[in-house]
Structure 1
């Protein structure tokens, strides 16, 4: 049991050391990256909406014949 506790303790120490190495974004970077992601989601959504509408129109034409 004590080896499990030692292993768990070592794991959390390693996690803490790795988290110190992480470059955390500042407010400006966070705002910029968030807006970029939201714009990408919006444009991809519009793209698939147009694609879906086109396929629906084609299918409607095919099924009316």
Structure 2
């Protein structure tokens, strides 16, 4: 059991060391990246909504 605790502590120390080396984005970069992601998701959602509407209309036309 002591070995597990020792390895867990060593792992957590290594995680802290790695997180200190990470190059974190600035607030401006983070805001820009978030805007790009949100815009992309909205664009894709609108695209698929239009495609879905078109396919639904086509199927209703064929069946009705």
**What is the CA-CA distance between 1:10 and the residue it aligns to?**
0.5
TM-score, structure 1 normalization: 0.93
Q: Please, what is the CA RMSD of the aligned residues?
A: 0.7
Q: Distance in 2 between matches of 1:19 and 1:60?
A: 55
Structure 1 unaligned residues grouped into runs of 5+: none
> Could you list the runs of 5+ residues in structure 2 that have no partner in the other structure?
none
Query: Who is 2:32 aligned against?
Result: 32
Matching of residue 62 in structure 1 with residue 32 in structure 2: no
CA deviation map 1:11-51 (0-9, x unaligned)? 10111011111111111001100000010001001110110
**Residue 13 of structure 2 aligns with which residue?**
13
1:9 is displaced (CA, Å) by 0.4
What is the rounded CA distance, in whole Å, between the counterparts of 1:22 and 1:60 in structure 2? 54
* 1:4 equivalent in alignment to 2:13: no
What is the number of residues matched between the two proteins? 64
